[in-house]
Chain A
Amino acid sequence: SQKIEQNSEALNIQEGKTATLTCNYTNYSPAYLQWYRQDPGRGPVFLLLIRENEKEKRKERLKVTFDTTLKQSLFHITASQPADSATYLCALRGGGNKLTFGTGTQLKVEL
Chain B
Amino acid sequence: NAGVTQTPKFQVLKTGQSMTLQCAQDMNHEYMSWYRQDPGMGLRLIHYSVGAGITDQGEVPNGYNVSRSTTEDFPLRLLSAAPSQTSVYFCASSSSDRIAEAFFGQGTRLTVV
Contacts and interface: CB of A to CB of B under 8 A. Distances in A.
Interface in B76-102: 90, 92, 94, 96, 98-99, 101-102
Contacts, number: 59
Interface string A35-59: 0100001111110010100000000
Given A8-B40, A99-B33, A43 B98 contact: no
B45 A98 contact: yes
Q: What class of interface size applies to chain B in its complex with A?
A: 20 to 34
Given A98-B48, A99-B33, A103-B42, A42 B98 contact: no
Interface residues of A, number: 25
A44 B102 CA distance: 9
27 contacts: A8-B40, A32-B98, A34-B102, A41-B107, A42-B107, A43-B4, A43-B90, A43-B92, A43-B104, A43-B105, A43-B106, A43-B107, A46-B102, A46-B103, A49-B101, A89-B42, A93-B98, A96-B48, A96-B50, A97-B50, A99-B45, A99-B94, A99-B102, A101-B35, A101-B43, A103-B42, A104-B42
Interface of B: 4, 31, 33, 35, 40-43, 45, 48, 50, 56, 58-59, 90, 92, 94, 96, 98-99, 101-107
